[in-house]
Amino acid sequence: MISLVVDIRSKVFRGRTPGESFTALEHLRFTVPEGEFACIVGPSGSGKTTLLNVIAGLDTDVQGTALLKSGDGSIRPGDVPIGYMFQSPRLMPWLTVLENVKIVMDPAGAESGEAEHLLEEMGLADVMQAFSNRLSGGMQRRAALARAFAVRPKLMLMDEPFVSLDAPTAERLRVLLLDTWKARRTTVVFVTHDLTEALHLGDRILFLSQSPGSVVFDLKVPLPRPRDPRDPKLETLRQKLLADYPKLLAGLAKAPAESA
Amino acid sequence: MLARTLRQNFAVLGNASDATIRLVSLAFLLLVWTVAALLVAGPSLPAPWTVAVSLWQHIVAGDLPYHLGVTLARVAVAFVLAMSIGTAIGIVMGRSRGTDMLFDGWIVLGLNIPALVVIILCYIWMGLTDVAAVIAVAINKIPLVVVTVREGARAVDRDLSQVSQIYRFSWSKTLTKVTLPQLYPYIMAAARNGLALIWKIVLLVELLGRSDGVGFQLSIYFQYFDISAILAYTLAFVGIIFFIESAVLRPLEVHLTRWRL
């Protein structure tokens, strides 16, 4: 049983002068057990992306740790295969869709046909040989999703990956993500500012405060799977959360549209 | 009336393909040359056909292919040397602020030292050898490659570098699959400018300190005032460089940047 244990005392962005310093995260602690789909919800500027970068090891200038712990020790997530879906697909435009997936795999894995299989799963079988920048935004995200799962990640980090897509496309991708996750049971940390999306996807939702970000509310989502985002129960729960914690969720209630 | 005819002619040009326009333009240049030669009517400007005959004679005699080959070999070595060293330095300076600050002055200095000074110093320090000649040419070109490639390396997409970090790409994979593809337009620009500059400097180097090559031959024909031969050598050389540019470098650039929208 490997779980992700995050314990960040503080993450400060230092400016040129002391006065310009900005504390993005403070006293941020949580644990995600193996196989759990955890959503991080918080208003813009609450340090969600910073948190993912710290977990991924892209940002090492931090007081505190983010570790994968098991019975026999702990390792940094950067030392095991992890998947990271950024807000934009970040594919290499000079590589084909297939090459973009194969490039993250080891030589044996690239030959195994797994990349092709993943792309077929994502419905990209017909465009595997196309340069990735020829694809639509939704298709590029599916390719990025295939790439993220191609490394057989122990941990999947997702930073509002479906933002700026039209609603039907985003919903199809969420279903696709859930199917892929269900088949592989990867631990997921999914950042979003959209409460409906979090309720649709997550086993659990961690609410971040305004900056400096820390966990102010930890919700186990009491909805059975598979879920339908248009299920009235989901909407009722959303309304209830907003009513019960008006102050906490004020930044979210306004509009999912004013996104990152 | 004249203006109208010209407009019509240009309208015709506009419809023609690019290759036709190039051809017409070349033919026009040849026409200007012929007219000028007929007006001068002396040895200081031989007519195109006189030069063509001279070119043929020098080819048949074997001296032109030989010296052309020697010069092209020097161009090739200096080109590869300057491009590889310049690209490596350019990437390092573009990626590391410290290195950039440390060596920026050197690059400015290198850009501003006259080619002639470098050539003379190389010959004095290393003797009148081929090694000195090629190194002198490379040194002249390297700062220009560095400046161009550095510009590209500074613009390398940080987002994609994070991708290579997340998926733990090896050093060589990051270079060949992530960094270099972003630099190809800059490297190709440096290569195309570089070829033009290098062959000119190679001629100068040959003129000053070698006893073979096109530059050496030109200096001989200069002493004989054999303008037909000078133009014949020049045409042959320019033709070959033009061929390399259009048959190798341009297709290569198209291939390397074919993914662009």
B127 C-beta neighbours (distance < 10 Å), count: 10
Tell whether B63 and B117 lie within a shared domain. Answer: yes
Tell whether B24 and B119 lie within a shared domain. Answer: no
Residues paired with residue A41 on neighbouring β-strands, in sequence order: A192, A207
B159 near A CB under 8 A = yes
B66 near A CB under 8 A = no
Count chain A–chain B contacts defined by CB atoms under 8 A.
41
Nearest to B234 by CA among B51, B47, B22, B74: B51
pLDDT for B32 equals: 95
Question: Range with the lowest mean pLDDT among B15-19, B76-80, B87-91?
Answer: B15-19
A79 C-beta neighbours (distance < 10 Å), count: 12
Length of chain B: 261
A92 contacts B167? CB cut-off 8 A: no
Average pLDDT rounded to a whole number, residues B108-133: 94
Tell whether B63 and B13 lie within a shared domain. Answer: no
Rounded-to-integer distance, Cα A98 and Cα A83, Å:
17
Domain presence at residue B17: yes
A81/chain B closest Cα distance in angstroms: 7
Nearest chain B alpha carbon to A131: B259
B172/chain A closest Cα distance in angstroms: 12
Tell whether B108 and B179 lie within a shared domain. Answer: yes
Nearest to A40 by CA among A156, A172, A179, A184: A156
Backbone angles phi, psi at A160, to 5 degrees: 40, 55
Domain with residue B177: its CATH number is: 1.10.3720.10
B22 near A CB under 8 A = no
Question: Using one digit for the tens of pLDDT, what is the confidence trace for A177-228?
Answer: 998 898 888 999 999 988 899 999 999 999 988 878 888 888 898 888 888 8
A4/chain B closest Cα distance in angstroms: 17
| Number of structural domains chain B divides into | 2
Q: What residues have CB less than 8 Å from A44, skipping those under 6 apart?
A: A193, A251, A258, A259, A260
B162 near A CB under 8 A = yes
Tell whether B107 and B228 lie within a shared domain. Answer: yes
B259 near A CB under 8 A = yes
**B96 DSSP 8-state letter:** -
A194 neighbors A256 (Cβ within 8 angstroms):
yes
Tell whether B191 and B156 lie within a shared domain. Answer: yes
Backbone angles phi, psi at A194, to 5 degrees: -105, 110
Report the residue of A92, A97, A102 to disrupt the B interface, i.e. the one with the largest count of B CBs within 10 Å. Answer: A92
pLDDT for A45 equals: 79
Q: Where are the alpha helices (DSSP H) in chain A?
A: 48-56, 97-102, 107-111, 114-121, 137-150, 167-184, 195-201, 232-244, 250-253
**Confidence class of residue B242 from pLDDT cuts 50, 70 and 90?**
confident
B259 contacts A94? CB cut-off 8 A: yes
Nearest chain A alpha carbon to B159: A90
Rounded-to-integer distance, Cα B204 and Cα B113, Å:
15
Nearest to A136 by CA among A175, A163, A165, A167: A165
Expressed as residue numbers, the domain containing B54 is: 50-256
Task: Please write down the long-range contacts of B93-97, taking CB distance under 8 Å and 24 or more positions apart.
Answer: B93/B146, B93/B150, B93/B153, B94/B149, B94/B150, B94/B151, B94/B152, B94/B153, B94/B154, B94/B156, B95/B153, B95/B156
Name every chain B residue with its beta carbon within 8 A of the beta carbon of A88. 159
Tokens of A108: 């044996």
Which residue matches tokens 């994968």? A68
Tell whether B182 and B216 lie within a shared domain. Answer: yes
pLDDT for A107 equals: 87
Helix or strand (DSSP H, E) at B102:
helix B97-112
A134 contacts B166? CB cut-off 8 A: no
Q: What residues have CB less than 8 Å from B182, skipping those under 6 apart?
A: B152, B155, B156, B157, B160
A57 C-beta neighbours (distance < 10 Å), count: 15
Domain presence at residue B261: no
Tell whether B56 and B37 lie within a shared domain. Answer: no
Name every chain A residue with its beta carbon within 8 A of the beta carbon of B179. none
Tell whether B27 and B60 lie within a shared domain. Answer: no
Tell whether B216 and B113 lie within a shared domain. Answer: yes
B163 near A CB under 8 A = yes
Tell whether B99 and B26 lie within a shared domain. Answer: no
Average pLDDT along chain B:
90
Domains of chain A with bracketed CATH: 3-80+154-253 (3.40.50.300), 91-153 (no CATH)
Candidate from A56, A93, A95 with C-beta closest to B166: A56
Tens of pLDDT, residue by residue, chain A (260 residues):
678 999 999 888 887 777 778 888 889 999 999 999 999 998 887 888 999 999 998 988 899 988 888 777 888 877 788 999 999 999 999 999 999 999 999 888 888 988 999 899 888 999 999 999 999 988 999 999 999 999 989 899 999 998 878 888 888 889 989 988 988 889 999 999 888 999 999 999 999 888 788 888 888 988 888 888 888 999 899 888 888 887 766 655 444 443 33
Domain presence at residue B233: yes
B148 neighbors B190 (Cβ within 8 angstroms):
yes
Cα B137 to chain centroid distance, Å, stands at 12
Rounded-to-integer distance, Cα B85 and Cα B114, Å:
20
Which residue matches tokens 């259009």? B246
B173 near A CB under 8 A = yes
Rounded-to-integer distance, Cα A37 and Cα A57, Å:
20
The percentage of residues in chain B with a pLDDT greater than 90, rounded to a whole number, is: 75
Determine the number of helices (DSSP H) and then strands (DSSP E) in chain B: 13, 0
Domain presence at residue B33: yes
Tell whether B199 and B156 lie within a shared domain. Answer: yes
A103 contacts B177? CB cut-off 8 A: yes
